[in-house]
């Protein structure tokens, strides 16, 4: 059911510094920062030949990643994202198998302009998993 790895998301305390490190030190192609108020984050994507790295920084006080950053001051891996062909079919199958979908269970539009869902990390061995419609 899951397809290719779309990205690995890393929460960073300083988005400009992280972007500069990936761009200048590691020689990667790094996008401009984009605010996503509906998700409470600012994102930057690092393009790699086989996947992407998403750098995340809290946007506003109610950001869902603010708590993560307060507990991990240096930042760290936040989630991994897999592509699925049909997000609603994937959601329904996974729920039938006992996995929990976070939020209201309905897909939201993610950073790539495609529907996304998040699965509870306790159901997937401590890893927050995002599913994105391919």
Active site residues: 130
Q: How many CA atoms lie within 13 A of 21 on its CB side?
A: 8
| C-beta atoms surrounding 25 within 10 Å | 8
Residue 22 neighbours by CB distance under 10 Å: 22
Tokens linked to 24: 């200048």
Q: Which residues have C-beta within 8 Å of that of residue 45, sequence separation ≥ 6?
A: 7, 30, 31, 52, 53, 54, 55, 111
Q: Which of 67, 64, 40, 44 is nearest to 55 (CA)?
A: 44
């Amino acid at each position: 059911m899951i397809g290719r790895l779309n990205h690995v998301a890393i929460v960073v305390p300083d988005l400009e510094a992280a972007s500069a490190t990936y761009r200048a030190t590691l020689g990667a192609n790094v996008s401009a920062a984009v605010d996503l108020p509906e998700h409470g984050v600012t994102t930057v994507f690092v393009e790699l030949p086989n996947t992407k790295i998403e750098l995340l920084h809290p946007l506003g006080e109610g950001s869902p990643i603010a708590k993560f950053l307060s507990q991990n001051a240096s930042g760290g891996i936040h989630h991994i994202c897999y592509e699925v062909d049909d997000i609603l079919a994937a959601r329904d199958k996974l729920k039938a198998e006992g996995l929990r979908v976070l939020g209201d269970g309905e897909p939201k539009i993610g950073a790539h302009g495609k529907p996304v869902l998040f699965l509870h990390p306790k159901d997937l061995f401590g890893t927050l998993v995002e599913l994105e419609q391919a």
